[in-house]
Amino acid sequence: MSPSMSPEFAVEWEDPADRALFWVRDDSHHPAPVTTLTHEFLSLVYGEGLNVAAAHYGLPFRVRRRCLHTYCYSAVVPAAGDDDGAALRRAATATAQEWAGNWLPEVQGRIAWWCGRDLVGAPLSELRQLLAAAVTFARRMGEIHFLATGPGLLVLSEFEERWGELCGSGAAACGLLTMPDSKNAQLRRALEDLADLARSEPQVARVVAAGPADRVCAELEAFPAGRVFRAGLECFLARWGRRGDQNWSLDRPSWQEDPTFVLESLHRLLEAPQGREATLPEAERLLEGLGTNRREELAGLLRAARVAQQVKEDHAFWIDFAAGHEVRCLLRELGARLRQAGALPTADDVFRLTLAELDETVGTLQDRRELVAARRLEEEAFREVVPPKFLGTPSASAGLPHPILRVMSKVFGARPQPPTAAVLSGTAAAPGKARGAARVLRSTAQVERLRPGEVLVAPTTTPSWIPLFATAAAVVTDVGGVLSHTAVVARELGIPAVVGTGCATQMLADGQRVEVDGDAGEVRLLPDGAP
């Protein structure tokens, strides 16, 4: 059953100045409610980190983030800066070199340091010190995130626009950015290798298909081929398992903690036809008929965009997932200690504290059970609510530079066209057409509901959803633009995608047959009995 629109979403602004700003819900990254502590870390990474990069590149804005009734909102505040994005454009080449030579090694080194901490054996006083270190760590990860990706996003945006002007399809041209050694491609191949390993042993395939995850892992230990597969699964999780379904989703278990999503995805791969490969456009075909100067211009844009795309994927793997996983491990251990001390009813209730409350509780072991119970009730009350997309005063965001506005609309999506009785319109994100039954999923926890050949319909997706893309006929989302994660992954896996429809999860019913036109950016409802 789809959530219903709340009759009211009353907001009491703690800071009166916030009332005058234009607040936009971050349904592209976090469409579902988040806990108090998760939002504080999201603000460190995606709020403070963005503001550091905006100041560094002279951008004429800063952002504020708020958690309103458990949903993430952000607002733009104008600031003095560069009105045309020139500083970002000039920094593009140097930034890619800085990422490879300095920032990526720094990120990997900091993550390795956290991996080396003995959290279980550490006294509570040491864990309190590590909490302060985690705040510094998250803030630095956010700074590098936006310093590294900001210039590249402008490059990708201008690449898509120019190729669209000269070749007629910017979205199709974005398929040229796919590289065989990308993180997304590596994850897909690793999952398919696991499926091949299971497929080669009928007994393993039967165990994986039977589920659930805890029983699968236990039964695999009972026979030799099962133990071989279990070892392969552990290797996969060690490499790819430090992620949940959303970026920095600290209050949700990673694949390493709960491999249900991976095992369910393997089950779907075992059911799906083998051998589907992405069909990508060829640069030579798209460039046919252009003069020499324009061909050279686009070839240069393609080289720069491929570098930018590589940085975009690498940063997501390391910063958005691996770094967040290490912070979650610390917070979970703190939660376990506070539960043992009687300060919290469960270890996961640690995510319902603020950073200040957590630090104080670790020091005093103050009873927080009543406080977290109240916050849990608020989460439950708003979980079945569709909050407003916008709050506040729209005019407050006027005056941003047009290049930055265009970049953001291509990542997060522009305002969608209203649907008709038979067509939902969105952004053409990945070319091609496909028909199938719609299957509405609101998180990767619902993976078992998607069958091979169905159309995946979701509020949004992240790179963690790649296993679902491997068997879906097409993808449709409520939010996102041509440079969103959904669009990138769909192009890499060669399936049609329409993003930014605004209402697909509410308008489409499970089992309803649709045609997804990734070239026109339309989702057409098919009549009963249509193939």
Per-residue pLDDT tens digits for 421-452 = 789 999 999 989 999 999 999 998 899 899 99
Model confidence over 107-118: pLDDT tens digits? Answer: 999 999 999 999
Q: Which residues contact 51 (CB under 8 A, 6 or more apart)?
A: 62, 63
Q: Return the SS3 of 412.
A: helix
Whole-angstrom CA distances from 147 to 91, 96, 303, 464, 484 are 10, 10, 20, 23, 18
Model confidence over 331-343: pLDDT tens digits? Answer: 999 999 999 999 9
Matching residue, tokens 């009332």: 19
* Separation between Cα atoms, residue 114 and residue 111, nearest integer Å: 5
Q: What is the pLDDT at residue 372?
A: 97
In the predicted structure, residue 396 carries a pLDDT above the cut 80: no
Most confident of 26-40, 50-64, 336-350: 336-350
423 beta partners: 524
Q: What is the pLDDT at residue 180?
A: 73
In the predicted structure, residue 530 carries a pLDDT above the cut 80: no
In the predicted structure, residue 41 carries a pLDDT above the cut 60: yes
* Separation between Cα atoms, residue 264 and residue 282, nearest integer Å: 34
Domains of the chain: 1-177+312-412 (no CATH), 183-271 (no CATH), 413-525 (3.50.30.10)
Tokens of 466: 């790649």
User: What is the arithmetic mean of pLDDT over 321-332?
Assistant: 97
Q: What is the pLDDT at residue 4?
A: 40
* Separation between Cα atoms, residue 254 and residue 331, nearest integer Å: 13
* Separation between Cα atoms, residue 488 and residue 410, nearest integer Å: 11
Q: What is the pLDDT at residue 3?
A: 42
Phi, psi of 430 (to 5 degrees): -145, 130
* Separation between Cα atoms, residue 505 and residue 458, nearest integer Å: 6
Question: Between 11 and 233, where is the model more confident?
Answer: 233
Q: Return the SS3 of 119.
A: coil
Residue 112: how many other CB atoms lie within 10 Å: 10
User: In terms of residues, how long is the chain?
Assistant: 531
Model confidence over 264-284: pLDDT tens digits? Answer: 999 988 887 765 555 556 666
User: What is the arithmetic mean of pLDDT over 512-516?
Assistant: 96
In the predicted structure, residue 402 carries a pLDDT above the cut 50: yes
